[in-house]
C-alpha cells in the first residue's frame, strides 16, 4: 500500500510540474530582443574596460564599438518576429487556448496514466527490497528455507569436504521435500564425518520417502547399520518392522512390532503408530497404560493420532501424485508395481484392487508385465 | 520498496521527457509564454526523478540487495563499500543510468542558471534536450533496465569485473560522462537556434559557459582514464589509440575547436554556420563513441560486455539524431546571415587555422578508428589500425597547431600584424632555442627529434606567458602598475593562457617520456638487484597477502639512489576469488615529476619473478598538464562576462530608441 | 587585399591543410596498418618477409614454455595449422593455454613468429573478435550461445 502512496505522490508532483506553469497566466512578457540588448551592452562595457586598461588601441575600440552598436540596433529594431504586440500573451488567443488545453490534459491524464500503465507492464511492485544484511539478520525460522539451502549449497560447492555443511543441509532438504537430495547429503555426511545411528536412520528415512514410503533394500541396509550401532534405537527398528510388514512376512513383523511396543513406557507418540500397524496385521493390543503419570490420556491419544495421521497423509499424497502421473502419462512396469505396493501400505484394499486392475489395463500389451502385476496382487492379498 | 520507487521514477521521467519534447517547442514556435514556461520546472522534475532512480539503484548496491538482477551480476557482499558504490556505474545498465542522470542534470542546470537566455531559446533548447533524454530513457527501459528483479534472490552476487574495482573507476567515468553528455546541451542549443532561425553573437555568449563546462570535464575525464589505464593495466602505457579512447578523444578535439570558434562568433559575429555545425558534430561524435563502446562492433580493452540488440538501438538513436540534425542544418543554415569580415592574418584567422587543424585531426582519428570496420564490411579483410597510423597522421597535424598557438592570442581582431607579434615573442623564441640546444647538449645529437619536441612544448608555454606579460606591459608602466594590470586582466584571459600552458606541459610530458624512458624486462630472483635510470632496485622476494575479496602475491622492492634507500615499491599479482580472475597491480613510485614503474608477470618456482621495469622521466607532466588546462577552463568559467544578467522589464522599453 | 583575395587565401590555406591530411591518411593506411592472419593463412604462405601482421588463434595446450628473462615460446593454433611464437615480455593476465589470443609481430624466414605484443582482453569470457570469426570459419568454435 505504502508503495502506491509514494507512486501517487511522485506522479502528482510530475503532473504539477507541467500544470502549474501552464495555468499561471499573465506573467510579465519580455521580448527576446531585450536579452540580446543585454549582451551587447555588456560587450560595449568590456570594450571600454579593455580600452581603459590599454589592452586595445583607441581605433580598435572604436571599430568594435561601431560593430556592437550595429548589432545592438539590429536587435532592438528587428527583434520581434511576431506581428502581435510583444506584450500580448499569445496564450490568450483562441487557437492557442486549444493548445493549452491539450497540454493541460496531457499533464493531468497522460503523465500519471502512461507511467502507471508502463510500470504495470515492466515493474514488480510486489517484490520487496531484500538487502543482504536484513536477510541474514532475520531469525533462522523467519528466513526462507530456500535462502538457507542456497547459501549452504554454495558453500558446499566450494568446499565439498565440509561434513557439517552436509549435516545441516540434509534435514533442510527433507523439509523442502527434496528427499533424494537429502539422502545424498546424508550419505556425504556419513562418508566424511563417519557413520552414526542418527545419520544412518535419517538417511534411511530419506530413502524411504524418496521411494514413496517403501522400505527398499538400500534403506533397509541403512537401518540395519543403525541398529548395529545402537541396538536400543527405536526409529530404525520401527522402519525395519515396517519393512517386514511391507514384505508380508507377517509373523516376523508382528514379533518386531511387539518387541518395540514392549519397550514403550507409555505415552510415546510412536507407540500409537505401532499399535495401528499391529491392528492392521490383526493383532489387538492393550491400549496405552492408563495409569501412567504425566499427560492425560486424551493428550496422548491426540499426539499419537497426529503423528500417525501426519505420516500417512504424507504417504497418501505421494501415492496420489504417482497415481495421477501414471494414469495420465503411463509408466513402466516397475512404476506400476511400486504404486501397488505403496497403495498396499495405505491399507485400502478397494483402492489396491482398483490400482491392480488399472495396472493390468495399462500394461496389457506386455504379457510378462501383466503376469507380474497379477502375482503381486496375489501377494498383497487382493489377487483373483 | 525503494528499488521499485526508483523504477517508477525512471518511467515517470521518461513520460515527462515526452511532454518536454513537445510542449515547450510548440510554445516557442507560437510565442505562447505559458507553454514555454513548462520547460524549466519539468527539467528540474526530471532531474529529481532520475536522481531518485539513481539513488535507489545505489541503495540496492550498498545494501547488497540481490533481488535486483543488476546487483547480482555486478556486485558481491564482500566487496569494499566504496566499490559497491562505484559498481553502480561499472556496468552497462548502471552507467547508462548515469548517462541519463547527467543528461537531465544539464537540462536542470540550464533551467536554473539560464535566466539570461531568451525564453524562446531556453524553452526550445530544453525541448531538444528532452528529445535526447526521451531517446536514452527509452533505450534504458527497453534494452538495459537496471531494475529487473529476481525472485527468489540468490545469496551472493557474481562480483564486479576486478579490473574495474579501483579508485580510478570511481572518478573516471563520471567525469568523462559529464564531458561527453555535457556536449548534449550545446547540441540542443544549436538545434534550437536552427529551429528558431536565430544564430548570432549573443547566442555564442549564452552557449559558452556550457561548452566550457563540458570541455572541462571531458578533459579531466580523459586524463583520469589515461592515468587509470597506466597504472591498472600494468603495461606502462598512458595512451593506446584504442577505439574507446578515440571515442572520447574525437569529441574532445571537436569540442576544443568549438570552444575557439565560438569566441569568433561572440566577438565578431562571424563563423556562425561553422560553429553551429561544430556543436552538432561534437555531440554526434559523443553519440558515436557511445555506440562504438556499447555495441561491440569494435573490440577494445575498455569495453563493457556487449550486446547486439543494444548496438542496433543505439545505431537507431545515432542515425535519427545525427541524420536529423544534419538535415535540419542543411535546410536552415543557408538562411543565416554572414558575419563580420576579417583578414587571413588576424585573431579570427588564427582561430580558423586552429579549427581547421583540430577538425582535420579529429577526422584523421575518425578514419583510423572506423577504417577497420569499413574495410571488413567491404572486403572482409581484417586489419588493425594502431599507434603507427595515428602517430603518422595525427602527429604532423599537431605540429603547425603548436607552432601557431602563441601567435593567436597576440594577433589583433580583424587585421593583425604578424611582425609586431613576432617581436613580442622574441623572448619566448629565445627560451625555446635554449631548451632545444640544452637537450641536444645533454642527450646527444641523435635525440634531435626529442629536442625539437621539447622545444615545441617550451614554445607553447613561453608563448602563453609572453602573451599575459605583454598585456601587463611591464616595460611601459613599471613594476607595480604592471602587476596591478596583470591581476586586473579578465579571468578569461588567464583561462586561455592556462589552457595553452597546460597543452605545452602535456607536450613536454609526452616527448620526455617517449624519448627518454628506459624499459627492462627480466627475471629477478630474491636479493638480486637491477638498475634503471639512476635507481637500483633490490628484490626482497614474494609474499602472499589476503585482501577483502582477493589474494595478492606481493613482490617487495627497495629502491636505492646512490646507495641510499629512497623508496619502496610493492607491485602485485592479484587474484580476485569470486571470479577467479588475475590482475596486475603495478608498483609506481614518483620521484619529483618522474616515476619508476614495476609490474610483475610470471612467478617462477624458485621464488623468482618476471618483471617489467620502467623509468619514466617527467611522465606525470602528461596528467598535470591536463589539470592545468582544466584550471584554465575553471578560470574562464568565472569570467564576469559570462554572467550577463537577465534584462529587467523596466529597462527594455528604453533600448529601441537608441 | 580585396575581399576576393582574402577568400582565396583562406580557401587555399584550408585546401592545402586538407590535402596534406588526406595524403598522410592515405599513405598511413597503405603503410601502417596491420593485417590479421590465422595460422592457416601463414602456413599457406605468400607473406612478404618482414611485414607486420597480427596472428590470432588459440594458445595450443601444453605448448607454453617459459625461459629466462621473460622469454616465452608458445604455439598459436586454429586447430588446423599451428605456428610457433616467440615473445619476450610480460603476458597479459588472462593469457592461458586453450584460450584465444592475438599476437602482433613479424614472421621470421624460419617460420617462427616473433611477437612484440600479445593481447588478451580483460574479461574472462573474452574471445578476440577476429579469433572468434577465424575459428568459426574453421567450424571449430561455436560462440558462447
DSSP characters over B40-94: HHHHHHHHHHHHHHHHHHHHHHHTTBTTBHHHHHH--TTS-HHHHHHGGGSSHHH
Backbone angles phi, psi at C114, to 5 degrees: -95, 105
Query: Which region among A23-37, B178-192, B478-492 has the lowest average model confidence (pLDDT)?
Result: A23-37
C-alpha dihedral (A272, A277, A282, A287), degrees to nearest 10:
-10
Q: Which residue, A283, A290, A286, A284, is CA-closest to A267? A: A290
Q: Which residue of C has its CA nearest to B385?
A: C33
Interface test with C, best of B165, B353, B356, B416 (most C CBs within 10 A): B356
Residues of chain A with pLDDT under 50: 77-88, 91, 288-297, 299-305
Portion 102-121 of B in contact with A at CB < 8 A: 116-121
Beta strand extents in B265-402 (DSSP E only): 383-385
CB A301: neighbour CB atoms within 10 A?
A: 14
CB B16: neighbour CB atoms within 10 A?
A: 29
C64 or A27, greater pLDDT: C64
Contact B356 C125 (CB under 8 A): no
Q: Chains with ≥3 Cβ pairs under 8 A against A? A: B
Place of cell 611591464: B474
Q: Which residue, B79, B173, B232, is CA-closest to B576? A: B79
Question: How do residues B546-580 score in pLDDT, each as one tens digit?
Answer: 877 788 889 999 999 988 999 999 999 888 877 67
Judging contacts by C-beta atoms under 8 Å, the chain B residues touching residue A28 are: 649
Is B413 within 8 Å of B339 (Cβ atoms)? no
CB pairs under 8 A between A and B: 237
d(CA A324, CA A322): 5
d(CA B292, CA C55): 24
Contact C121 B357 (CB under 8 A): no
Q: Mark B334-372 as b/e (b = at least 16 C-beta within 10 Å).
A: eebeebbebbbbbbbbbbbbbbbbbbbbbbbbbbbbbbb
d(CA B533, CA B590): 13
Residue A88 has a pLDDT of 44
Task: Kindly state whether A90 is in contact with chain B, defined as any CB-CB distance less than 8 angstroms.
Answer: yes
Task: Kindly state whether B393 is in contact with chain C, defined as any CB-CB distance less than 8 angstroms.
Answer: yes
Interface test with A, best of B7, B8, B56 (most A CBs within 10 A): B8
Q: Is pLDDT at B53 greater than 90 in this prediction?
A: yes
Judging contacts by C-beta atoms under 8 Å, the chain A residues touching residue B16 are: 14, 17-18, 111
Q: Chains with ≥3 Cβ pairs under 8 A against B? A: A, C
Judging contacts by C-beta atoms under 8 Å, the chain B residues touching residue C124 are: 579-581
Is A341 within 8 Å of A246 (Cβ atoms)? yes
Query: DSSP 3-state helix, strand, coil percentages of chain A (rounded to 5)?
Result: 75, 0, 25
Residue A322 has a pLDDT of 79
Backbone angles phi, psi at B200, to 5 degrees: -150, -175
Judging contacts by C-beta atoms under 8 Å, the chain A residues touching residue B40 are: 21
Residue C131 has a pLDDT of 58
d(CA C33, CA C30): 7
Which three cell numbers, joined as nine digits, stand for B240? Answer: 593506446
Residue B17 has a pLDDT of 95
Q: Which of B3, B641, B655 sits opposite A42 (nearest CB)?
A: B641
Cα angle value A252/A253/A256 (rounded, 5°)? 90
Task: Kindly state whether B651 is in contact with chain C, defined as any CB-CB distance less than 8 angstroms.
Answer: no
d(CA B243, CA B248): 9
Q: Which H/E stretch holds residue B107? A: helix B92-113
- The listed range with the strongest mean pLDDT (A139-148, A173-182, B178-187, B367-376) is B178-187
Which are the contacts of B281, defined by CB distance < 8 A and separation ≥ 6? B254, B359
CB C31: neighbour CB atoms within 10 A?
A: 10
Beta bridge partners of B564: B561
Q: Is pLDDT at B57 greater than 90 in this prediction?
A: yes
Contact A30 B15 (CB under 8 A): no
Q: Within 13 A of B96's CA, how many CA atoms are on the CB side?
A: 27
Place of cell 641510499: B564
d(CA B335, CA B339): 12
Q: Which residue, B588, B586, B595, is CA-closest to B617? A: B595
Q: Which residue of B has its CA nearest to A115?
A: B12
Query: Beta strand B518-524 with B581-585: parallel, antiparallel or unpaired?
Result: unpaired
**Residue B577: left (phi > 0), alpha (psi -120 to 50), or beta?**
alpha
Minimal Cα–Cα distance from B656 to chain A, Å?
Answer: 5
Beta bridge partners of C34: B384
Give how far Cα A230 sits from Cα of A188, A194, A197, B224, Å: 21, 15, 6, 71
Q: SS3 of B174, please? A: helix
Q: Which residue of B has its CA nearest to C90?
A: B601
Question: How do residues B431-473 score in pLDDT, each as one tens digit?
Answer: 999 999 999 998 888 888 899 999 999 999 999 999 888 887 7
Note if the pTM is more than 0.95.
no
Q: Which of C25, C121, C129 sits opposite B364 (nearest CB)?
A: C25
Q: Which residue of B has its CA nearest to C19?
A: B360
How many contiguous H segments (helices) and E segments (strands) does chain A have?
18, 0
Q: Which residue of B has its CA nearest to C133?
A: B382
Query: Which region among B116-130, B295-309, B583-597 has the lowest average model confidence (pLDDT)?
Result: B295-309
Task: Kindly state whether B384 is in contact with chain C, defined as any CB-CB distance less than 8 angstroms.
Answer: yes
d(CA B302, CA B561): 37
Minimal Cα–Cα distance from B627 to chain A, Å?
Answer: 28
Query: Which region among A129-133, A309-313, B133-137, C20-24 has the lowest average model confidence (pLDDT)?
Result: A309-313
Contact A30 B38 (CB under 8 A): no
Contact C32 B583 (CB under 8 A): no
Judging contacts by C-beta atoms under 8 Å, the chain B residues touching residue A13 are: 45
Backbone angles phi, psi at C36, to 5 degrees: -95, 130
Portion 561-580 of B in contact with C at CB < 8 A: 579-580
d(CA B349, CA B408): 8
| Dihedral angle sign, alpha carbons of residues A54, A59, A64, A66 | positive
Query: Beta strand B564-569 with B572-576: parallel, antiparallel or unpaired?
Result: unpaired
| Dihedral angle sign, alpha carbons of residues A7, A9, A14, A15 | positive
Residue B303 has a pLDDT of 46
Q: How confident is the model at residue B622 (pLDDT cuts 50, 70, 90)?
A: very high
**Residue A129: left (phi > 0), alpha (psi -120 to 50), or beta?**
beta
What value does the CA radius of gyration of chain A take, rounded to a whole number of Å?
43
Q: Which residue, B474, B498, B497, B501, is CA-closest to B485? A: B474
Minimal Cα–Cα distance from B189 to chain A, Å?
Answer: 15
Beta bridge partners of C119: C102
Judging contacts by C-beta atoms under 8 Å, the chain C residues touching residue B385 are: 29, 32-34
Q: Is pLDDT at B308 greater than 70 in this prediction?
A: no
Query: DSSP 3-state helix, strand, coil percentages of chain C (rounded to 5)?
Result: 30, 30, 35
Backbone angles phi, psi at B602, to 5 degrees: -65, 135
Residue A142 has a pLDDT of 54
**Average pLDDT of the residues in B401-412:** 91
Q: How confident is the model at residue C125 (pLDDT cuts 50, 70, 90)?
A: very low
Is B135 exposed, middle or buried (CB count within 10 Å of its CB: 0-12, 13-18, 19+)?
buried
Minimal Cα–Cα distance from A294 to chain B, Å?
Answer: 45
Inter-helix orientation angle A2-23/B39-62, to 10° = 160
Place of cell 507492464: A121
Cα angle value B462/B468/B470 (rounded, 5°)? 95
Contact C33 B234 (CB under 8 A): no
Is B548 within 8 Å of B78 (Cβ atoms)? yes
Portion 129-188 of B in contact with A at CB < 8 A: 141, 145, 147, 149, 151-156
Is B542 within 8 Å of B568 (Cβ atoms)? no
Residue A266 has a pLDDT of 67
Q: Which H/E stretch holds residue B575? A: strand B572-576
Minimal Cα–Cα distance from B15 to chain A, Å?
Answer: 6
Minimal Cα–Cα distance from C144 to chain B, Å?
Answer: 12
**Residue C139: left (phi > 0), alpha (psi -120 to 50), or beta?**
left
Task: Kindly state whether B16 is in contact with chain C, defined as any CB-CB distance less than 8 angstroms.
Answer: no
d(CA C62, CA C84): 12
Portion 261-300 of B in contact with C at CB < 8 A: 296, 299
Residue B194 has a pLDDT of 92
Q: Which residue, B511, B622, B548, is CA-closest to B225? A: B622
Is B542 within 8 Å of B651 (Cβ atoms)? no
| Contact between chain C and chain B (3 or more Cβ pairs less than 8 Å apart) | yes
Task: Kindly state whether B344 is in contact with chain C, defined as any CB-CB distance less than 8 angstroms.
Answer: yes
Portion 143-202 of B in contact with C at CB < 8 A: 161, 163
Is A81 exposed, middle or buried (CB count within 10 Å of its CB: 0-12, 13-18, 19+)?
middle
Q: Which residue of A has its CA nearest to B2?
A: A129
Q: What is the mean pLDDT of chain B?
A: 86
Q: SS3 of C73, please? A: strand
- Give chain B's length: 658
Portion 144-203 of A in contact with B at CB < 8 A: 144, 146-147, 150-151, 154
Contact B23 A67 (CB under 8 A): no
Is B569 within 8 Å of B589 (Cβ atoms)? yes
Q: Which of C25, C54, C133 sits opposite B384 (nearest CB)?
A: C54
d(CA B355, CA B282): 13
Place of cell 575459428: C135
d(CA C78, CA C99): 11
B57 or C141, greater pLDDT: B57
Judging contacts by C-beta atoms under 8 Å, the chain A residues touching residue B3 are: 127, 129
Place of cell 624499459: B519
Q: Which residue, B395, B377, B373, is CA-closest to B385? A: B373
d(CA A288, CA A273): 12
Assess whether the previous peptide bond of B263 is cis (omega < 30° from 0). Answer: no
Portion 339-398 of B in contact with A at CB < 8 A: 340
Which are the contacts of B18, defined by CB distance < 8 A and separation ≥ 6? A114, B130, B134
Minimal Cα–Cα distance from C52 to chain B, Å?
Answer: 11
Question: How do residues B265-299 score in pLDDT, each as one tens digit?
Answer: 888 888 888 999 999 999 999 988 877 776 656 55
Amino acid at each position: 500500500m505504502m508503495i502506491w502512496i509514494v507512486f501517487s505522490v511522485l506522479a502528482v508532483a510530475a503532473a504539477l510540474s507541467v500544470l502549474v506553469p501552464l495555468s499561471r497566466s499573465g506573467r510579465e512578457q519580455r521580448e527576446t530582443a531585450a536579452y540580446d540588448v543585454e549582451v551587447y551592452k555588456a560587450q560595449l562595457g568590456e570594450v571600454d574596460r579593455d580600452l581603459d586598461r590599454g589592452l586595445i588601441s583607441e581605433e580598435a575600440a572604436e571599430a568594435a564599438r561601431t560593430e556592437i552598436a550595429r548589432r545592438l540596433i539590429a536587435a532592438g529594431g528587428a527583434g520581434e518576429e511576431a506581428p502581435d504586440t510583444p506584450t500580448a500573451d499569445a496564450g490568450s488567443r483562441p487557437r492557442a487556448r486549444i493548445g493549452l488545453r491539450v497540454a493541460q490534459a496531457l499533464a493531468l491524464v497522460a503523465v500519471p496514466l502512461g507511467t502507471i500503465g508502463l510500470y504495470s507492464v515492466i515493474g514488480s511492485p510486489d517484490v520487496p527490497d531484500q538487502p543482504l544484511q536484513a536477510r541474514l539478520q532475520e531469525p533462522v525460522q523467519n528466513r526462507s528455507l530456500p535462502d538457507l539451502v542456497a547459501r549452504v549449497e554454495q558453500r558446499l560447492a566450494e568446499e565439498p569436504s565440509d561434513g557439517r555443511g552436509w549435516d545441516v543441509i540434509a534435514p533442510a532438504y527433507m523439509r523442502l521435500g527434496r528427499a533424494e537430495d537429502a539422502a545424498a547429503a546424508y550419505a556425504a555426511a556419513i562418508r566424511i564425518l563417519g557413520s552414526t545411528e542418527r545419520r544412518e536412520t535419517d538417511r534411511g528415512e530419506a530413502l524411504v520417502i524418496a521411494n514413496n514410503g517403501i522400505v527398499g533394500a538400500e534403506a533397509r541396509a541403512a537401518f540395519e547399520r543403525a541398529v548395529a550401532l545402537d541396538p536400543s534405537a527405536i526409529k530404525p527398528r520401527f522402519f525395519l518392522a515396517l519393512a517386514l510388514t511391507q514384505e508380508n512376512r507377517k509373523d516376523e513383523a508382528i514379533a518386531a512390532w511387539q518387541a518395540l511396543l514392549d519397550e514403550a513406557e507409555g505415552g510415546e507418540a510412536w507407540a500409537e503408530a505401532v499399535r495401528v500397524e499391529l491392528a492392521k496385521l490383526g493383532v489387538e493390543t492393550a491400549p496405552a497404560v492408563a495409569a501412567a503419570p504425566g499427560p492425560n490420556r486424551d493428550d496422548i491419544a491426540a499426539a499419537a493420532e497426529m503423528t500417525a495421521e501426519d505420516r500417512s497423509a504424507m504417504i497418501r499424497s505421494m501415492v496420489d501424485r504417482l497415481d495421477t502421473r501414471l494414469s495420465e502419462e503411463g509408466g513402466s512396469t516397475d512404476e506400476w508395481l511400486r504404486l501397488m505396493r505403496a497403495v498396499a501400505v495405505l491399507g485400502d484394499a478397494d483402492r489396491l484392487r482398483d490400482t491392480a486392475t488399472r495396472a493390468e489395463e495399462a500394461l496389457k500389451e506386455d504379457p510378462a508385465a501383466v503376469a507380474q502385476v497379477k502375482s503381486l496382487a496375489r501377494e498383497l492379498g487382493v489377487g483373483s | 520498496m525503494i528499488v521499485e520507487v526508483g523504477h517508477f521514477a525512471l518511467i515517470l521521467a521518461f513520460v515527462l521527457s515526452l511532454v518536454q519534447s513537445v510542449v515547450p517547442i510548440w510554445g516557442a514556435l507560437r510565442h505562447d509564454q505559458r507553454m514555454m514556461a513548462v520547460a524549466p520546472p519539468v527539467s528540474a522534475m526530471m532531474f529529481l526523478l532520475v536522481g531518485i532512480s539513481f539513488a535507489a539503484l545505489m541503495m540496492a548496491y550498498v545494501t547488497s540487495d540481490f533481488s535486483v538482477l543488476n546487483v547480482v551480476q555486478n556486485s558481491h557482499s564482500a566487496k569494499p563499500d566504496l566499490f559497491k558504490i562505484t559498481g553502480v556505474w561499472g556496468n552497462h545498465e548502471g552507467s547508462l543510468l548515469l548517462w541519463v542522470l547527467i543528461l537531465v542534470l544539464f537540462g536542470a542546470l540550464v533551467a536554473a542558471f539560464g535566466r539570461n537566455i531568451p525564453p524562446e531559446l531556453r524553452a526550445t533548447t530544453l525541448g531538444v534536450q528532452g528529445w535526447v533524454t526521451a531517446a536514452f530513457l527509452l533505450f534504458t527501459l527497453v534494452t538495459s533496465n537496471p531494475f529487473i528483479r529476481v525472485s527468489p534472490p540468490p545469496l551472493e552476487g557474481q562480483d564486479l569485473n576486478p579490473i574495474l574495482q579501483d579508485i580510478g573507476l570511481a572518478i573516471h567515468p563520471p567525469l568523462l560522462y559529464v564531458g561527453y553528455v555535457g556536449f548534449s546541451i550545446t547540441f540542443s542549443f544549436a538545434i534550437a537556434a536552427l529551429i528558431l532561425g536565430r544564430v548570432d553573437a549573443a547566442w555564442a555568449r549564452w552557449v559558452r559557459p556550457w561548452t566550457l563546462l563540458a570541455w572541462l570535464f571531458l578533459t579531466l575525464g580523459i586524463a583520469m582514464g589515461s592515468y587509470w589505464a597506466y597504472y591498472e593495466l600494468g603495461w606502462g602505457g598512458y595512451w593506446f589509440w584504442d577505439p574507446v579512447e578515440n571515442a572520447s578523444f574525437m569529441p574532445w578535439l571537436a569540442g576544443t575547436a568549438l570552444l575557439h570558434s565560438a569566441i569568433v562568433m561572440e566577438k565578431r559575429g562571424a563563423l556562425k554556420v561553422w560553429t553551429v555545425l561544430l556543436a552538432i558534430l561534437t555531440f554526434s561524435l559523443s553519440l558515436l563513441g557511445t555506440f562504438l563502446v556499447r555495441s561491440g562492433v569494435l573490440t577494445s580493452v575498455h569495453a563493457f560486455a556487449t550486446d547486439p540488440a543494444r548496438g542496433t538501438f543505439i545505431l537507431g538513436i545515432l542515425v535519427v539524431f545525427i541524420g536529423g540534425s544534419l538535415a535540419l542544418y542543411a535546410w536552415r543554415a543557408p538562411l543565416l546571415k554572414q558575419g563580420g569580415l576579417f583578414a587571413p592574418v588576424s585573431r579570427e584567422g588564427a582561430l580558423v587555422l586552429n579549427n581547421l587543424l583540430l577538425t582535420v585531426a579529429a577526422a584523421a582519428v575518425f578514419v583510423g578508428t572506423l577504417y577497420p570496420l569499413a574495410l571488413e564490411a567491404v572486403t572482409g579483410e581484417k586489419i588493425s589500425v594502431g599507434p603507427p597510423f595515428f602517430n603518422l597522421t595525427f602527429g604532423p597535424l599537431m605540429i603547425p597547431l603548436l607552432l601557431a598557438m602563441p601567435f593567436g592570442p597576440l594577433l589583433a581582431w580583424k587585421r593583425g600584424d604578424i611582425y609586431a607579434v613576432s617581436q613580442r615573442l622574441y623572448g619566448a623564441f629565445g627560451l625555446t632555442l635554449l631548451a632545444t640546444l640544452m637537450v641536444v647538449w645533454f642527450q646527444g645529437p641523435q635525440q634531435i627529434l626529442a629536442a625539437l619536441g621539447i622545444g615545441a612544448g617550451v614554445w607553447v608555454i613561453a608563448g602563453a606567458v609572453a602573451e599575459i606579460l605583454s598585456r601587463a606591459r611591464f616595460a611601459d608602466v613599471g613594476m607595480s602598475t604592471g602587476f596591478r594590470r596583470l591581476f586586473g586582466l579578465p579571468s578569461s584571459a588567464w583561462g586561455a593562457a592556462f589552457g595553452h600552458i597546460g597543452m605545452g606541459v602535456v607536450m613536454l610530458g609526452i616527448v620526455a617520456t617517449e624519448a627518454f624512458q628506459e624499459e627492462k624486462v627480466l627475471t629477478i630472483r630474491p636479493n638480486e638487484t637491477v638498475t634503471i635510470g639512476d635507481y637500483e632496485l633490490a628484490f626482497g622476494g614474494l609474499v602472499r597477502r589476503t585482501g577483502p575479496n582477493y589474494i595478492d602475491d606481493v613482490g617487495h622492492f627497495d629502491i636505492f639512489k646512490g646507495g641510499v634507500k629512497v623508496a619502496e615499491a610493492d607491485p602485485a599479482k592479484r587474484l580476485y576469488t569470486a571470479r577467479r580472475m588475475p590482475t596486475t597491480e603495478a608498483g609506481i613510485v614518483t620521484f619529483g615529476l618522474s616515476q619508476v614503474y614495476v609490474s610483475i608477470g610470471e612467478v617462477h618456482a624458485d621464488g623468482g619473478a618476471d618483471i617489467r621495469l620502467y623509468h619514466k622521466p617527467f611522465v606525470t607532466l602528461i596528467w598535470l598538464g591536463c589539470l592545468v588546462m582544466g584550471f584554465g577552463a575553471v578560470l574562464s568559467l568565472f569570467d564576469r562576462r559570462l554572467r550577463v544578467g537577465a534584462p529587467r522589464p523596466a529597462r527594455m522599453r528604453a533600448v529601441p530608441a537608441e | 587585399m580585396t575581399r576576393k583575395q582574402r577568400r582565396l587565401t583562406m580557401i587555399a590555406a584550408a585546401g592545402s591543410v586538407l590535402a596534406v591530411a588526406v595524403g598522410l591518411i592515405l599513405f598511413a593506411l597503405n603503410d601502417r596498418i596491420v593485417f590479421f592472419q590465422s595460422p592457416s593463412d601463414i602456413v599457406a604462405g605468400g607473406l612478404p618477409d618482414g611485414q607486420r601482421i597480427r596472428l590470432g588463434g588459440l594458445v595450443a595446450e601444453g605448448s607454453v614454455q617459459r625461459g629466462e628473462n621473460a622469454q616465452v615460446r608458445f604455439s598459436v593454433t586454429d586447430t588446423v595449422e599451428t605456428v610457433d611464437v616467440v615473445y619476450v615480455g610480460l603476458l597479459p593476465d588472462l593469457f592461458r593455454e586453450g584460450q584465444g589470443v592475438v599476437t602482433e609481430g613479424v614472421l621470421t624466414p624460419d617460420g617462427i613468429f616473433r611477437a612484440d605484443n600479445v593481447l588478451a582482453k580483460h574479461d574472462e569470457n573474452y574471445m578476440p573478435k577476429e579469433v572468434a570469426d577465424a575459428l568459426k570459419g574453421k567450424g571449430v568454435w561455436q560462440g558462447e550461445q
